Amino acid sequence: MTLPNISEKISPYHLSEEQINFYDDNGYLILRNWIPATMLERLQQAGAAWIADGSQSDGSDAYYDYKFANRSNGNRVMYRVDYVHNKGQIASLELLGSPYVLGVAESLCGNNFVPTYESMVFKQAGDGEAIPWHQDATHPRSHRIFNYDLYLDESRTGGGALRVIPGTQGQKADICGVNDTYGWDHPDAIDVEMEPGDVLLHDVMVVHGSERTHGKALRRTIYYEFRAAEEIIKDGPWDSTWIDQRMRLIPLGLKRFGEAYPDVPAFTWQASHEFRPEMSDDEAAELRVAHLVHMAGSYCSAGDAG
């Protein structure tokens, strides 16, 4: 695996060598109380707006980014919002451009980190959809690929907490075998209990999932995935044009963060010249770059990937 050369913490929001080693060994890392209260509150408000907007949508939009589970009684339960940056809430860009996110991305992916996905996955109050055991994506592991998971609400055992099987990130897993043999009770699985403002970093190949909930509180998590540009060029499934389009989100995020939090030191972006995009003046056009091709994950059935 190609690793960024970080011998010591560059800033309070870069990871230490000890933290990186724990992440590499286990496939996950928890960062407690990572997001300041003011930013967290803005993101909680944004999360509420995304759910409200999705609940009112009829699915006729060509870019229908709201995912629902169908219940036997005919009800639909929303559980995911994709492409959050173009949903009218600038708090998501402020988060993306913050040192609390970009310092971590640089620590794990090096200077040429690319923001490759963004979404909010949640469990509705009263009826929360299950996310079956899975690996987000499988890849040759020449570089790190990780998800940055910001919890907007508390997450508890018995209330939809994410379950992770540490150390399973090294190879493609037999997800059906895990389901058939253990169900949710794999002997090595741990429940990841989180508070609002905590961040979970997880390797896209670590096996994880969460049970359906009944009668429990709302639990929302914002997900940002990052990969090194060098990894995308080497392994796909995208190309240099797509990298250029996705890299445009970083200057937009830096700008929005600076406007919202002028007293907080900005992240110093050090991407190589070859990966720095030439920005347009059309922010709306820059905010959505569709994923026409995906890197395959590992699920027990293809339908679980939604």
Report residue 203: phi and psi, to 5°. -60, 135
Range list of H helices, 215-273: 229-235, 240-247, 249-260
CA distance 284 to 86: 7
CA distance 58 to 189: 38
Q: What was the pLDDT predicted at 125?
A: 97
Q: What was the pLDDT predicted at 8?
A: 55
Q: What was the pLDDT predicted at 120?
A: 98
- Which amino acid is it at 306? G
The domains of the chain, with CATH numbers, are: 17-288 (2.60.120.620)
Q: What was the pLDDT predicted at 302?
A: 43
Tell me which residue of 90, 88, 104, 82 sits closest to 35, measured CA to CA: 104
Crossing angle for the helix pair 99-109 and 17-26, to the nearest 10 degrees: 70
CA distance 140 to 145: 11
Q: What was the pLDDT predicted at 281?
A: 78
Using 70 as the pLDDT threshold, list the residues of the chain that sit under it. 1-9, 59-63, 288-294, 301-306
CA distance 84 to 72: 29
The pTM is what? 0.93
